[in-house]
Chain A
Amino acid sequence: MEVSDIIKPENQVFCKTQLLTDTTLSYCPGCGHGTAHSITMEVIEEMGIVQDTIGVAPVGCSVLAYDFMNIDMTQAAHGRAPAVATAISRVWPNKYVFTYQGDGDLAAIGTAETIHACNRGENIVIIFVNNGIYGMTGGQMAPTTLEGMMSSTSPYGRDVKTMGMPIKMTELVANLPGVYYATRQAVHTHKHVRKAKKAIKKAFENTRLNNGISFIEIVSNCNSGWKMTPNESNIWMEENMFPYFPLGDIKVNGKLK
């Protein structure tokens, strides 16, 4: 029996969305970026909005998101995706515009762009993958690195006396009137993936209804940066990241929870 005898449309219970290319992912095995990509693309496919969707890729591990997402995409300078998305959405008010950013991108170098896009209530979706570290550049400390957590630039653990506490971006922006929906999700188990996908769908629905900013944080792992196996990193994430970055909705329909 050949593989092609088995892989037939009628035998397939689960199909990869057409909106993911066949390019091999550049992410480390076990990384959450791939899952976050695929649920985002599934939502766009299910809503039938690909012809009206423009994505903005960041600088970070997901800089090459456009190699994997089979949609029109613009790659932004480090941290500036919300400004880039602002303009696209202003000159194409009927389009679905989203950014996909890491924590260094969104919460360090791009803090001003994030806050102001949120404050203006731009009609865009922000997908914020928080892995508590700078993955792309080799595991340096991020604004979201936990207290005491080791990284290549906090080799003795993050000292909050000199570096401050890890920043809770989603709570911060949820307090801005321009933000309509703010939620924190994860993608390391089926249950979490289903919930996160629902949240992303809600976010794109918000764009359709012109509701303003939807801000979706996905707390994720970075097994390479954290120097763990994929499984260890997921357990570590549950035990350490989730208590500080609790999952769940923070603001829904413009109202704080």
Chain B
Amino acid sequence: MSELKLMKGNEALAEAAIRAGADAYFGYPITPQSEVIEYLMTEQPEKRTGMVVLQAESEVAAINMVYGAASTGKKVMTSSSSPGISLKLEGISYLAGAELPAVIVNVVRGGPGLGTIQPSQADYFQSVKGGGHGDYHLYVLAPSSVQEMADFVEDAFDIAFKYRAPVLILSDGLIGQMMEKVELKDQQERLTDEEVIKRHDSWATTGKTNRERNIITSLDLVSEKMEARVHRLMAKYKKMEEEDLRFEKIMCDDADYLFVAYGSSARIAQKAVELGREKGLKVGLLRPITLFPFPKKQLLDLADQVKGMLSVEMSAGQMVEDVKLAVEHKVPVEHFGRTGGIIHTPEEVLEALEQKIIKENGSIRYHKTRESSIL
């Protein structure tokens, strides 16, 4: 039976991992995500389902533990916050290169450097533009509620195994720390060792039986082979875009102006939509649920309809670049967001729309520039 509970986002995520039948979690404490490992240590999933939980000596060790468990076909997860994710990036690049399924969670705090422990969305670039070295992407899911913190764990595992690729859940300190009602799914059985072998015997390192040996590596010293590996990854990303792109449109049908926002900022922007509508402004919201793949086509379509877009993020302006790329200069796109751990209010967001987009009436100006540059 599913269960209704009042939980913090971090706790909901941890409980959902147990219920999704995860085999292991490896992590290292850092605010604002330490509740994940604290909850797991308290719950003792080893007794409930046999799930392994281990506090590693560092984020570097934790991600390499993830790599080890993933290379044997097990369902494995880690979580951290910004500085810790920076440390994990070499391992994440290895996971992508070696084509291993794994779930990584970033409960973002303000940065750069040690930054602040307050919520932030300033790790967008790191999450969707690679972060680690080499030609790779992560499938990135951005929850905007405690419910989604829970739901996305299972979704992330499904995608990770569908593509044999690492998946990132990009949350932030606000979603991680706040308490909301959450409906938890039923417990899924963990796969037995025999089932893991049966499912993943074609690639996982579980011990060589009567088959060829299985090797997990990201190394190809022959350049042509390395290029082929990269092309294989690119084909996966294309398929993700075709089959697993996720987004939500709120009041977009008649919208003249559009907010683009994900995660916490989408919640705030949704309220700003309401405030705008009360004032008679036709405002809508496009919420990318996956940040990679990104809803490029949806934005381009909306660019034919709206007069301007405001990308709202708790950062100095990162996703705004992707919005601009998507709309191909058809409409003005501006950024608004507080950063450094400050959470913008719906009023601030609406005011920014009015000042940066509506007042300037930039759509006309932009169209002109575009035409003149064509001429």
Chain B residues within an 8 Å CB radius of A66: 213, 215, 217
Query: Which among B94, B206, B213, B216 is the interface contact of A92 at CB below 8 angstroms?
Result: B206
How many angstroms between the C-alpha atoms of A56 and B209 in the bound complex?
17
CA distance A56 to B123 in the complex (A): 32
Contact indicator per residue, chain A 86-104, by CB within 8 Å of chain B (1) or not (0)? 1110111001000000000
Residues of chain A from 66 to 121 with CB closer than 8 A to chain B in the complex: 66, 69-77, 80, 83-88, 90-92, 95, 112-113, 115-116
CB nearest neighbor in A for B24: A91
Contact of B68 among A50, A52, A71, A84 (CB under 8 A): A84
User: Which residues in window 21-70 of B have CB below 8 A to A?
Assistant: 23-24, 26, 52, 54, 56-58, 60-62, 64-69
A92 to B69, CA, bound (A): 9
The answer to whether residues A112 and B205 also contact, given A83-B68, A84-B71, A91-B74 and a CB cut-off of 8 A, is no
Shortest Cβ gap from B174 to chain A (Å): 31
Closest to B50 in A: A91
Within the complex, which residue of B56, B69, B214, B218 is in contact with A91, where a contact is CB–CB below 8 Å?
B69
Return the contact of A53 from the options B24, B54, B207, B215 (Cβ within 8 A): B207
B286 to chain A, nearest CB (A): 38
Q: In this assembly, does B90 line the interface, its C-beta being within 8 Å of a C-beta of chain A?
A: yes
Residues of B within 8 A of A83 (CB): 56, 60-62, 64-65, 68
Known: A50-B207, A91-B52, A92-B193. A76 touches B67 (CB 8 A): yes
In the complex, are the beta carbons of B205 and A73 less than 8 A apart?
Answer: yes
- Measured between beta carbons, the chain A residues less than 8 angstroms from B206 are 54, 72, 92, 95
Assess whether A87 is in contact with B57, with CB atoms less than 8 Å apart: no
B213, A72: Cβ atoms closer than 8 Å: yes
Please report the C-alpha to C-alpha distance between residue A88 and residue B62 in the assembled complex, in whole angstroms: 12
CB nearest to A109 among chain B residues: B60
Q: For the complex, is A63 an interface residue (Cβ under 8 Å from B)?
A: yes
Residue from A72, A77, A113 having most chain B Cβ neighbours under 10 A: A72
**Alpha-carbon separation in the docked complex, A84 to B215 (Å):** 14
Docked-complex contact B207 and A116, CB < 8 angstroms: no
Tally of B interface residues using CB under 8 Å: 38
Interface pair A112/B61, CB less than 8 Å apart: yes
B64 touches A84 (CB 8 A): yes
CB distance from B96 to the nearest CB of A (A): 12
Contact for A72 among B91, B193, B205, B218, CB less than 8 A:
B205
B228 at the interface (CB under 8 A from A): no
7 closest Cβ pairs, A-B complex: A87-B68, A84-B68, A80-B64, A87-B65, A75-B217, A72-B205, A83-B64
* A90, B71: Cα distance in complex, Å: 13
Whether B64 lies near A76 (C-beta < 8 A) is: yes
Q: Is B319 an interface residue (CB 8 A)?
A: no
Residue of B with least CB distance to A69 = B213
Shortest Cβ gap from A115 to chain B (Å): 8
Chain B: which residue is nearest A49 at the CB level? B207
Contact A112 B57 (CB under 8 A): yes
Residue of A nearest to B90 (CB): A77
Enumerate chain B interface residues (CB-CB to A < 8 A).
Answer: 23-24, 26, 52, 54, 56-58, 60-62, 64-69, 71-72, 74, 76, 90-91, 94, 98, 193, 205-209, 213-219
Among B24, B58, B66, B217, the one with the most A-chain Cβ atoms within 10 Å of its Cβ is: B217
B213 in contact with A75 (CB, 8 Å) = no
B62 cross-chain contacts in A, Cβ below 8 A = 83
A interface residues, tally (CB under 8 Å): 34
CB < 8 Å neighbour of A87 from B69, B94, B209, B215? B69
Q: Is A51 an interface residue (CB 8 A)?
A: yes
The answer to whether B72 and A88 have CB atoms under 8 Å apart is yes
Contacting residues, chain B, for A54 (C-beta < 8 A): 72, 205-207
Residues of B within 8 A of A92 (CB): 72, 193, 206
Residues in A whose Cβ lies below 8 Å from that of B215: 66, 72-75
- Docked complex Cα distance between A53 and B208 (Å): 7
Q: Are B24 and A75 in contact (CB under 8 A)?
A: no
Which B-chain residue is minimally distant from A50 (CB atoms)? B208
Task: Enumerate A40-65 residues with CB–CB distance to B below 8 Å.
Answer: 50-54, 56-57, 63-64
B54 close to A90 (CB less than 8 A): yes
Determine the residue in chain B with the shortest Cβ distance to A76: B64
Say whether B56 contacts A70, CB under 8 Å.
no
* A98 → B minimal CB distance (Å): 12
Contact B24 A90 (CB under 8 A): yes
Query: How near does chain A come to B46, taking the closest CB pair, in angstroms?
Result: 10
28 A-B residue contacts at CB 8 Å?
Answer: A51-B207, A54-B72, A63-B219, A66-B213, A72-B207, A72-B208, A72-B214, A73-B213, A73-B215, A74-B68, A74-B72, A75-B216, A75-B219, A77-B67, A83-B64, A83-B65, A83-B68, A84-B67, A86-B65, A87-B54, A87-B68, A88-B72, A91-B52, A91-B74, A92-B206, A112-B60, A113-B61, A116-B56
